[in-house]
Amino acid sequence: MTVIVKSYKPKDVCCKNIQVVIENNKIKDVIFLGGCNGNAKGITSLIIDMNIEDVVNKLENIKCGGKNTSCPDQLAKMLKDIIKEIKNENN
Protein backbone atom coordinates (compact mmCIF):
# COMPACT_ATOMS: atom_id res chain seq x y z
CA MET A 1 0.00 0.00 0.00
CA THR A 2 1.40 3.37 -1.03
CA VAL A 3 0.29 6.39 1.00
CA ILE A 4 1.25 9.93 0.03
CA VAL A 5 0.59 12.95 2.23
CA LYS A 6 1.39 16.34 0.69
CA SER A 7 0.81 20.03 1.32
CA TYR A 8 0.68 22.67 -1.39
CA LYS A 9 0.61 26.47 -1.29
CA PRO A 10 -1.84 27.51 -4.03
CA LYS A 11 -1.41 30.69 -6.03
CA ASP A 12 -3.93 33.44 -6.83
CA VAL A 13 -6.83 31.94 -4.82
CA CYS A 14 -8.42 32.58 -1.42
CA CYS A 15 -7.31 29.22 -0.01
CA LYS A 16 -3.93 29.43 1.74
CA ASN A 17 -2.95 25.74 1.70
CA ILE A 18 -4.17 22.42 0.34
CA GLN A 19 -3.38 19.14 2.05
CA VAL A 20 -4.05 15.81 0.37
CA VAL A 21 -3.82 12.16 1.34
CA ILE A 22 -3.50 9.66 -1.51
CA GLU A 23 -3.57 5.91 -1.08
CA ASN A 24 -2.86 3.64 -4.06
CA ASN A 25 -3.48 6.53 -6.51
CA LYS A 26 -6.86 7.37 -4.98
CA ILE A 27 -7.83 10.49 -3.04
CA LYS A 28 -8.48 9.62 0.60
CA ASP A 29 -8.71 13.14 2.07
CA VAL A 30 -8.34 16.77 1.01
CA ILE A 31 -8.27 19.76 3.32
CA PHE A 32 -8.46 23.31 2.00
CA LEU A 33 -7.20 25.83 4.56
CA GLY A 34 -8.99 29.12 4.00
CA GLY A 35 -11.25 29.98 1.12
CA CYS A 36 -14.89 29.01 0.88
CA ASN A 37 -15.46 26.29 3.46
CA GLY A 38 -18.69 24.96 1.94
CA ASN A 39 -17.31 24.66 -1.58
CA ALA A 40 -14.11 23.05 -0.29
CA LYS A 41 -16.08 20.45 1.68
CA GLY A 42 -18.27 19.81 -1.38
CA ILE A 43 -15.28 19.26 -3.65
CA THR A 44 -13.65 16.98 -1.09
CA SER A 45 -16.82 14.92 -0.68
CA LEU A 46 -17.16 14.45 -4.44
CA ILE A 47 -13.57 13.33 -5.09
CA ILE A 48 -12.97 10.95 -2.17
CA ASP A 49 -11.94 7.51 -3.51
CA MET A 50 -11.47 8.87 -7.05
CA ASN A 51 -8.33 8.10 -9.03
CA ILE A 52 -6.00 11.12 -9.02
CA GLU A 53 -5.84 11.28 -12.83
CA ASP A 54 -9.65 11.40 -13.00
CA VAL A 55 -9.71 14.25 -10.46
CA VAL A 56 -7.21 16.22 -12.56
CA ASN A 57 -9.35 15.71 -15.67
CA LYS A 58 -12.46 16.96 -13.85
CA LEU A 59 -10.97 19.97 -12.03
CA GLU A 60 -8.22 21.27 -14.30
CA ASN A 61 -8.76 24.73 -15.84
CA ILE A 62 -11.80 25.67 -13.72
CA LYS A 63 -11.81 29.45 -13.23
CA CYS A 64 -13.10 31.50 -10.28
CA GLY A 65 -14.60 34.91 -11.04
CA GLY A 66 -12.15 36.95 -13.10
CA LYS A 67 -9.17 34.82 -12.06
CA ASN A 68 -7.35 32.44 -14.39
CA THR A 69 -7.48 29.71 -11.73
CA SER A 70 -9.54 28.44 -8.79
CA CYS A 71 -9.10 26.24 -5.74
CA PRO A 72 -10.15 23.14 -7.75
CA ASP A 73 -7.69 24.10 -10.52
CA GLN A 74 -4.91 24.55 -7.94
CA LEU A 75 -5.73 21.10 -6.53
CA ALA A 76 -5.43 19.70 -10.07
CA LYS A 77 -2.02 21.37 -10.46
CA MET A 78 -0.92 19.84 -7.16
CA LEU A 79 -2.10 16.39 -8.24
CA LYS A 80 -0.31 16.71 -11.59
CA ASP A 81 2.93 17.36 -9.68
CA ILE A 82 2.28 14.28 -7.54
CA ILE A 83 1.60 12.17 -10.65
CA LYS A 84 4.98 13.29 -12.08
CA GLU A 85 6.70 12.38 -8.80
CA ILE A 86 5.10 8.92 -8.83
CA LYS A 87 6.17 8.33 -12.44
CA ASN A 88 9.73 9.47 -11.68
CA GLU A 89 9.93 7.14 -8.68
CA ASN A 90 8.74 4.20 -10.79
CA ASN A 91 11.38 4.77 -13.52
CATH of residue 83: 3.30.390
Domain with 16, as residue range(s), is 3-90
For 2-41, write each residue's pLDDT tens digit: 899 999 999 999 999 999 999 999 999 999 999 999 999 9
Number of structural domains the chain divides into: 1
Contact predicate 24/2, CB 8 Å: yes
> What residues contact residue 47 under an 8 Å CB cut-off, 6+ apart?
27, 30, 55, 58, 59
Give the rounded percent of residues in the chain with a pLDDT score beyond 70: 99
What pTM value is reported for the model? 0.94
Are 42 and 30 contacting, i.e. CB atoms less than 8 angstroms apart?
Answer: no
pLDDT of residue 52: 97
Would you state the pLDDT for residue 89? 85
So what's the pLDDT on residue 18? 98
Q: Which residue has the higher pLDDT, 86 or 50?
A: 50
